[in-house]
């Protein structure tokens, strides 16, 4: 199906509703912008508002158009709503600016766009009212919404006309860029291992204090909190679960059909709007021509473009699923009219349905039952825990209560900032390895009080007790002495290695023993553990020995010669770079232009309402 959609992207209609709506939401893209005041307002300008309900409907429509049909939770986790918000911001601003400038889109322009849209034409190339309505229905759009999307696209084309056609750059500029890409540097170099830390004598307290005074501003710790918490998970109750054979038998009768592995078929697929080419294709294959050969000659499609892999019946369009799964091996079918166009299929492999082994099914069912009953135990305990929270019990009192049959471990975390960073006097700063709700409850709960029960993934729950709040501070020397020593040692190791390297290089008469020619496209230099080392070398200018630090080594390098690799300056390269520059200029200027409209039309964002909604448990799929 994904390749079928890809084959349709020459159509403006499908570009609008697949490429723009799902994958990028480019500034000039078509997408529906619904009106109304249902629900709380999320985006607004002077005379236009967009509600939370409308945004969620947009997210729903977008996810239903994706081949894998993600759940609402998966779509939100992958940031689909952020793309929707970005698209809607752009559209509301574009239309507001068009209204401000009194721009209009003539009805004749709308009619011409609709009549010329290939997705709305029948097999004879004429506009079809049925195809028009069916295409809109498949995209989840009404006629009014689609017409409004045309308005938005046309408005932006008018507004962006002054900077849309910037598509020519001087040949000299293009050549300089190609020269830069093909630059080669001939270098002399030597790699030195850092000296061992145990070779460095421990410094005096005064030396470390002086080093501390240089670093102390970078050691500042913002306001933080110390907490205790427990994690309550189903596995904690598994030893209380008892499963007998009767339960397994009952579960087996209910779920045995789920253990049948469906038949799958490996399928080749070609989708086209051209009935003549489709019929020619079928005729040639029936006359003995190979499917892949005709696909290459007629549609310029490689085997990888037509191979859909192994699919279940439910993965296929309704119009063709039954026919494909009744077809014989290596049979070519079509052309079949689907909502994506005229489609030709070939069945190249069949994997028949089969049943999982009985004993494996029972083992799997026992695991499922154990998990399900453990979750039931957990939820029973949660009711008692909430009662204890209401009574003002501490975390220790809850873990020592009769709720748990065994000791529930209490974990501690100190110095957690509002941004989710964990600070320490003697260790490096780290990130809190918990979800957003966990961090939010740390800062929404009063000191010496318990948070609400926090639901995380896999039916795990957390309960937090905030122990104390720590003010902003620059730690005094004695508190961070170990960290200061560690930083001093690292710094001293580099300094002493450089001194040692300079002496060795001097003994070489300032000549480095290794030589190499490197390109910008090279990935590494010898075995140095630093993926950015090539970039660092190309940033050097002076033709003298310079030192670059990597994780495990010190690199001494001298640029001997800079030259341009031989290449053929072709018109194709020139045109491609021109196109890339034009797109980059257009995108950069468009972003700037949209930001200007944000300020001009005083766009109001109320994203807190979205955050509140997303943080609610059990978002409907």
Eight-class DSSP state of 463: E
Distance set, CA 493 to CA 498, 505, 557, 596 (Å)? 9, 18, 19, 50
Per-residue pLDDT averaged across 415-430, rounded?
A: 92
Q: Which residue has the tokens 């085997």?
A: 303
333 in Cβ contact with 344 (< 8 Å):
yes
Q: What is the pLDDT of residues 115-150, one digit of tens each?
A: 888 888 776 677 777 777 777 777 767 777 788 888
Q: What is the pLDDT of residues 343-377, one digit of tens each?
A: 889 888 988 888 777 788 888 888 888 888 888 88
What is the overall mean pLDDT for the chain?
Answer: 81
pLDDT exceeds 60 at position 320: yes
Position 557 scores a pLDDT of 95
What CATH number does the domain located at 2-166+582-614 have?
1.10.4030
Confidence band (pLDDT; 50, 70, 90) for 106? confident
Fold of 263-352: Chitinase A; domain 3 (3.10.50)
Closest by CA position to 504, among listed 190, 272, 121, 81: 190
255 in Cβ contact with 485 (< 8 Å):
no
195: Cβ contacts below 8 Å, ≥ 6 apart: 493, 496, 497, 500
Q: How far is CA 562 from the centre of its chain?
A: 39
Position 615 scores a pLDDT of 60
The domain made up of 224-239+380-470 is a member of CATH 3.10.50: yes
pLDDT exceeds 90 at position 466: yes
Phi, psi of 472 (to 5 degrees): -60, 145
Q: What is the pLDDT of residues 570-588, one digit of tens each?
A: 777 667 777 776 666 667 6
Coil, strand or helix at 412: strand
Coil, strand or helix at 348: strand
β-sheet bridge partners, residue 345: 269, 333
Distance of alpha carbon 79 from alpha carbon 479, whole angstroms: 41
Eight-class DSSP state of 455: E
Confidence band (pLDDT; 50, 70, 90) for 476? very high
The reply to whether domains 2-166+582-614 and 224-239+380-470 share a CATH topology is no
Confidence band (pLDDT; 50, 70, 90) for 13? very low
Give me the residue spans of the domains in the chain: 2-166+582-614, 183-219+479-564, 224-239+380-470, 263-352
β-sheet bridge partners, residue 309: 267
DSSP one-letter string for 116-157: H-GGGB-TTS-B-HHHHHHHHHHTT--HHHHHHHHHHHHHHH
Q: What is the pLDDT of residues 509-548, one digit of tens each?
A: 889 999 999 998 888 898 887 888 999 999 998 889 999 9
Distance of alpha carbon 502 from alpha carbon 498, whole angstroms: 6
Position 19 scores a pLDDT of 34
Q: Do you know the residue count of the chain?
A: 621
Per-residue pLDDT averaged across 34-51, rounded?
A: 70
């Amino acid at each position: 199906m994904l390749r079928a959609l890809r084959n349709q992207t020459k159509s403006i209609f499908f570009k609008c509703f697949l490429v723009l709506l799902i994958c990028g939401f480019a500034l000039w893209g078509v997408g529906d912008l619904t009106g109304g005041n249902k629900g709380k307002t999320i985006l607004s300008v002077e005379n236009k508002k967009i509600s939370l309900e409308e945004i969620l409907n947009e997210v729903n429509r977008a996810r239903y158009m994706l081949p894998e049909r993600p759940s609402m939770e998966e779509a939100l986790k992958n940031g689909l709503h952020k793309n929707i918000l970005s698209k809607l911001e752009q559209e509301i601003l574009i239309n507001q600016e068009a209204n401000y400038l009194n721009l209009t889109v003539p009805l004749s322009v709308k009619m011409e766009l609709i009549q010329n849209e290939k997705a709305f034409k029948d097999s004879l190339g004429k506009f079809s009212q049925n195809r028009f309505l069916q295409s809109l229905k498949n995209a989840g759009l009404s006629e009014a919404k689609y017409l409004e999307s045309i308005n938005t696209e046309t408005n932006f084309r008018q507004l962006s006309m002054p900077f849309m056609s910037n598509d020519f750059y001087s040949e000299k500029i293009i050549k300089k860029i190609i020269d830069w890409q093909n630059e080669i540097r001939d270098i002399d170099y030597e790699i030195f291992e850092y000296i061992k830390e145990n070779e460095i004598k421990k410094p005096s307290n005064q030396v470390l204090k002086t080093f501390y005074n240089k670093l102390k501003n970078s050691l500042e710790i913002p306001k933080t909190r110390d907490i205790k918490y427990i994690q309550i998970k189903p596995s904690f109750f598994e030893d209380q679960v008892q499963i007998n054979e009767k339960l397994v038998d009952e579960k087996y009768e209910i779920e045995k059909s789920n253990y049948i592995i469906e038949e799958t078929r490996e399928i080749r697929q070609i989708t086209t709007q051209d009935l003549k080419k489709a019929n020619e294709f079928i005729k040639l294959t029936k006359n003995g021509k190979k499917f892949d050969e005709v696909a290459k000659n007629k549609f310029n499609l490689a085997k990888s473009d037509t191979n859909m892999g192994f699919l279940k019946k439910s993965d296929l369009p309704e119009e063709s699923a039954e026919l494909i799964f009744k077809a014989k091996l290596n049979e070519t079918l079509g052309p079949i009219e689907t909502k994506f166009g005229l489609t030709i299929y070939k069945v190249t492999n069949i994997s028949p349905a089969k049943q999982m082994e009985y004993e494996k099914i029972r083992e799997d069912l026992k695991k499922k039952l154990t998990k399900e009953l453990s979750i039931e135990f957990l939820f029973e305990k949660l009711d008692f825990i909430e009662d204890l929270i209401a009574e003002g019990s501490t975390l220790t009192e809850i873990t020592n209560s009769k709720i748990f049959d065994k000791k529930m471990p209490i974990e501690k975390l100190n110095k957690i900032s509002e941004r989710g960073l964990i600070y320490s006097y003697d260790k490096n700063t780290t990130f809190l390895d918990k979800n957003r709700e966990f961090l939010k409850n740390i800062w929404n709960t009063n000191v010496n009080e318990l948070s609400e029960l926090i639901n995380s993934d896999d039916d795990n729950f957390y309960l937090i007790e905030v122990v104390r709040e720590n003010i902003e501070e620059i730690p005094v020397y004695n508190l961070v002495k170990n960290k200061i020593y560690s930083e001093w040692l690292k710094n001293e190791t580099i300094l002493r290695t450089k001194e040692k390297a300079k002496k060795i290089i001097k003994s070489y008469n300032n000549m480095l023993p290794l030589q190499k020619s490197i390109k910008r496209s090279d990935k590494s230099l010898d075995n140095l553990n630093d993926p950015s080392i090539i970039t660092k070398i190309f940033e050097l200018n002076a033709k003298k020995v310079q030192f670059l630090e990597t994780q495990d080594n010190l690199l001494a390098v001298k640029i001997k010669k800079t030259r341009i690799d031989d290449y053929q300056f072709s018109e194709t390269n020139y045109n491609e770079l021109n196109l890339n520059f034009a797109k980059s200029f257009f995108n950069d200027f468009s972003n700037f232009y949209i930001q200007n409209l944000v300020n001009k039309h005083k766009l109001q964002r109320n994203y807190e309402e979205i955050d509140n909604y997303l943080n609610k448990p059990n978002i409907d799929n």
